[in-house]
């Protein structure tokens, strides 16, 4: 009885490996150094080289002012910046500030939601990269300490 | 909504007692002055077991019995005695609580 | 070993599909300790690939700060009923899994 | 004449026994509900099934966002598969419950006059396993959490109508006493936090109302990072006031669940749920 679903899942897993191997390599080149960076400047340097980061009102970063639960903080990012190639989510005070990168294609509108972990109150940044520019918007998020084990 | 986020006095008071490390002062300990740590640990353990049976044991008592036992095992008689007396005090307090609550709970029932 | 679950939901609104995904994964940061005090090794999803009828539409990289059992929502342009949307992930230990849905 | 007198007598006796059986728990419940409607005049009593999220709009908003794809979904799926598995003797869980176990969680806990005890869903699951020569599940096991999560999911929206027969009054009263008895170093009872201070903040947390405390189990707690039952929460509550927790599904906890669930009569089941 139980074998069948697991077999199906195994095949699914196999198929996903086959599917993954067909994906162009440059899409899979992981920004390992940027994810391992511990300082915001290093993250910027690894992701954007010398491109300046400028603030923009055209990035909508939706995140609660006070996080109900630091283990699951909902984050949504949308942008109307033309030619957006990628979205980045950065949490300054986390041990490794870079949380996520999303490489966009014309087939996908720049509109993503995730849930992140936040160890403590921090500035949270959403960045959007175009061919030659980097835009950023930021929001301060307070993470409350969970009472007496509350 | 901001008002709701304020820590109310009651909450703060509850928290102080919830998170604080303060323990009851072991002043009124029954143990005789010459009692050894081992004896007091046994007394504490007996009182604690009784409190457990009454479903009124405190976590603090178990912690103190354990630290007293560890101190005793390390030949630290003085520390073991201090912890054992605290353990006995809290065990007796939990028994007193169990006794009092047999009746006291009724006054709190929503009317 | 059974592949971990990838649950998906999708809805088309004015040719744009909203896709929601829940992935079963511990997302260990590598900084937590177990009860014995030993460090729990990092184990987290690094890559997520989103495909629309086999066309890669979004490729995602994650660090360790994505919540346990990650939730991820995104959108797809020019979606039609019958289209297949697939999400596959790979974690730092080389484990993979995938899920798909057919849009209605 | 004789007959009508007989009927009269029977009626009076029946009425009398109904009153003596039901008057106390029901007047307790009405007083309980009244307490919360007076304390929170703008909150519908049913809304308390969402705990602190009924009392704090900002927290509720984030929680609702989480509920879009809630963390217990995976547990419900697991539970559905486990529930359908056949025992070695060919039977399955469905054979142990009304309506093949679908949509029945609101029947629990119930007082079983034969074994003279409160039977929770968890206990009934293990009784079912025992009756089918299967080993009992540990009460804190994932398997127990998953199966109850699935059974709760199929019971959503069903209304609690727990009854306290004459034989169950003692268990109910013991549960009530446990609720109002102070415990631990902090000398708190359940009502200290969830009645006297319901709606107040304990640091960043909002203390929930007790009415609705039993509607939404099992619950995925982010702190636990898993789905767990009501008794796991009881242990935690006891420990938070410095009292030693009791064994899950111990008689005292089952009686407490009986009292708490009776207080939720008329409310809808909304488990499994997610909490911080």
Q: Do chains A and C touch (3 or more CB pairs under 8 A)?
A: yes
Identify which has the larger pLDDT, D2 or B93.
B93
Instruction: State the smallest CA–CA distance between residue D222 and chain B in angstroms.
Output: 21
pLDDT at D4: 52
Contact B108 D32 (CB under 8 A): no
pLDDT confidence tier of residue D62, bands split at 50, 70 and 90: confident
Written out in words, the top-level CATH class of the domain with range D73-154 is: mainly alpha
- Domain range list for chain D: 23-69+161-275, 73-154
- The residue-averaged pLDDT of D198-224 equals 91
Render A114-137 in DSSP notation, one character per residue.
Answer: EEE--SS-EEEEEEEE-SS-EEEE
Residue D228, helix vs strand vs coil: strand
| Strand-pair category, C45-52 with C16-23 | unpaired
The mean pLDDT values, 10 residues at a time, for chain A of 150 residues are 46 48 47 90 92 94 88 92 95 95 93 93 96 95 59
Instruction: State the smallest CA–CA distance between residue D120 and chain B in angstroms.
Output: 20
ipTM of the complex: 0.73
Read off the pLDDT of residues B43-101 as tens digits, 9 standing for 90 and up. Answer: 999 999 999 999 999 999 999 999 999 999 999 999 999 999 999 999 999 999 999 99
Pairwise CA distance, residues D124 & D136, whole Å:
11
pLDDT at A14: 47
pLDDT at D119: 98
pLDDT at A146: 41
pLDDT confidence tier of residue D150, bands split at 50, 70 and 90: very high
Contact B11 D177 (CB under 8 A): no
Active site residue D193: no
Identify the residue whose tokens are 């207080």. D263
pLDDT confidence tier of residue B33, bands split at 50, 70 and 90: low
* Alpha-carbon distances of D114 from D118, D136, D170, D252, D262, rounded to whole Å: 11, 21, 15, 19, 20
- The residue-averaged pLDDT of D76-86 equals 96
pLDDT at A30: 63
Residue D77, helix vs strand vs coil: helix
pLDDT at D15: 45
Residue D249, helix vs strand vs coil: coil
Question: Do the domains D23-69+161-275 and D73-154 sit in the same CATH topology, yes or no?
Answer: yes
Nearest to D79, CA basis, from D16, D124, D146, D17: D146
Identify the residue whose tokens are 């999400």. C87
Interface of D with B in 113-152 (CB under 8 A): none
pLDDT confidence tier of residue D63, bands split at 50, 70 and 90: confident
* Alpha-carbon distances of B102 from B107, D185, D247, rounded to whole Å: 11, 17, 21
Burial of D140 (0-12, 13-18, 19+ CB in 10 A): middle
Lowest mean pLDDT among A18-27, D132-141, D145-154: A18-27
Pick the residue of D69, D224, D225, D226 with the most C CBs within 10 A to test the interface with C by mutation: D69
Pick the residue of C7, C32, C69 with the most D CBs within 10 A to test the interface with D by mutation: C69
Question: By CA distance, what is D195's nearest residue in B?
Answer: B110
Read off the pLDDT of residues D27-55 as tens digits, 9 standing for 90 and up. Answer: 999 999 999 999 999 999 999 999 999 99
Residues C8 and C84 sit within 8 Å (Cβ to Cβ) = no
- The residue-averaged pLDDT of D215-227 equals 92
Q: Taking 60 as the threshold, does the pLDDT of residue B20 lie above it?
A: no
Contact D201 B5 (CB under 8 A): yes
Pairwise CA distance, residues B24 & B8, whole Å:
25
Residue C5, helix vs strand vs coil: coil
Q: Taking 80 as the threshold, does the pLDDT of residue D70 lie above it?
A: yes
| Strand-pair category, A98-104 with C55-62 | antiparallel
Identify which has the larger pLDDT, A27 or D166.
D166
For D22-43, letters b (16+ CB in 10 Å) and e give: eeebeebbeebbebbeeebeee
pLDDT at A145: 59
Domains of chain C: 6-31+39-102 (2.60.40.10)
In this prediction, the residues of chain C whose per-residue pLDDT falls under 70 are: 1
Residues of B with CB under 8 A from a CB of D: 1, 4-8, 10-11, 14-15, 17-18, 52, 55-60, 62, 90, 97, 101, 104-106, 108-111
pLDDT at D18: 44
Identify which has the larger pLDDT, D6 or D236.
D236
> Is A3 near chain D, with CB under 8 Å?
no
Nearest to C19, CA basis, from B45, A114, D119, A37: A114
Homologous superfamily assigned to D23-69+161-275: Cytochrome c-like domain (1.10.760.10)
Residues B80 and B45 sit within 8 Å (Cβ to Cβ) = no
pLDDT at B30: 54
């Amino acid at each position: 009885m139980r074998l069948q679903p697991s077999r199906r899942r195994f095949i699914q897993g196999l198929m996903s490996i086959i599917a993954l191997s067909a994906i162009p390599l440059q899409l899979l080149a992981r920004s390992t150094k940027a994810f391992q960076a511990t300082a915001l400047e290093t993250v910027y340097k690894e992701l954007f080289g010398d491109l300046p980061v400028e603030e923009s009102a055209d990035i909508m970063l939706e995140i609660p002012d006070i996080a109900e639960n630091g283990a699951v903080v909902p984050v949504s990012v949308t942008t109307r910046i033309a030619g957006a190639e990628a979205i980045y989510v950065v949490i300054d005070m986390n041990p490794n500030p870079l949380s996520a990168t999303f490489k966009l294609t014309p087939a996908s509108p720049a509109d993503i939601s995730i849930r992140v972990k936040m160890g403590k109150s921090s500035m949270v940044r959403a960045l959007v990269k175009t061919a030659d520019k980097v835009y950023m918007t930021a929001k301060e998020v307070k993470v409350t300490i969970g009472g007496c084990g509350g | 909504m901001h008002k709701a986020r304020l820590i109310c006095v009651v909450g703060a008071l509850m928290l102080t007692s919830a998170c604080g490390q303060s323990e009851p002062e072991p002043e009124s300990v029954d143990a005789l002055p010459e009692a050894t740590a081992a004896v007091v640990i046994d007394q504490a353990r007996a009182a604690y077991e009784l409190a457990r049976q009454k479903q009124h044991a405190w976590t603090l008592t178990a912690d103190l019995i354990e630290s007293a036992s560890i101190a005793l095992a390390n030949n630290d008689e003085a520390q073991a005695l201090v912890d054992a007396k605290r353990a006995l005090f809290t065990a007796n307090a939990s028994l007193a609580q169990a006794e009092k609550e047999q009746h006291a709970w009724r006054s709190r029932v929503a009317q | 070993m059974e592949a971990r679950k990838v649950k998906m939901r999708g809805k088309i609104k004015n040719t744009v599909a909203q896709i929601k995904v829940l992935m079963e994964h511990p997302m260990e940061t590598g900084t937590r300790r177990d009860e014995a005090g030993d460090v729990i090794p990092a184990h987290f999803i690094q890559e997520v690939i989103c495909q629309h009828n086999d066309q890669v539409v979004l490729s995602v990289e994650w660090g360790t700060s994505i919540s346990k059992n990650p939730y991820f929502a995104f959108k797809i342009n020019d979606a039609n009923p019958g289209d297949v949307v697939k999400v596959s992930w790979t974690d730092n230990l080389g484990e993979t899994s995938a899920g798909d849905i057919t849009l209605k | 004449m004789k007959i009508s007198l007989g009927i009269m007598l029977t009626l009076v006796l029946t009425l009398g026994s109904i009153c003596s059986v039901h008057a106390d728990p029901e007047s307790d419940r009405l007083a309980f509900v009244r307490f919360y409607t007076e304390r929170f005049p703008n909150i519908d009593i049913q809304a308390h099934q969402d705990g602190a999220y009924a009392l704090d709009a900002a927290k509720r908003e984030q929680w609702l966002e989480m509920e879009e794809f809630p963390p217990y979904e995976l547990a419900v799926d697991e539970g559905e598969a486990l529930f359908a598995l056949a025992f070695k003797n060919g039977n399955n869980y469905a054979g142990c419950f009304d309506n093949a176990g679908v949509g029945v969680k609101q029947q629990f806990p119930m007082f079983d006059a034969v074994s003279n005890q409160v039977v929770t869903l968890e206990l009934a699951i293990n009784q079912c396993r025992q009756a089918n020569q299967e080993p009992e599940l540990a009460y804190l096991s994932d398997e127990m959490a998953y199966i109850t999560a699935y059974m709760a999911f199929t019971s959503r929206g069903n209304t609690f109508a727990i009854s306290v027969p004459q034989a169950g009054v003692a268990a109910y009263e013991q549960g009530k006493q446990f609720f109002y008895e102070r415990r631990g170093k902090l000398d708190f009872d359940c009502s200290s936090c969830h009645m006297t201070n319901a709606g107040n903040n304990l640091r960043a947390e909002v203390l929930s109302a007790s009415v609705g405390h039993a509607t939404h189990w099992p619950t995925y707690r982010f702190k636990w990072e898993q789905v767990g039952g009501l008794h796991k929460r009881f242990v935690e509550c006891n420990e938070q006031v410095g009292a030693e927790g009791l064994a899950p599904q111990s008689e005292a906890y089952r009686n407490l669940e009986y009292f708490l669930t009776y207080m939720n009569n008329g409310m809808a089941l909304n488990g499994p749920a997610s909490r911080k």
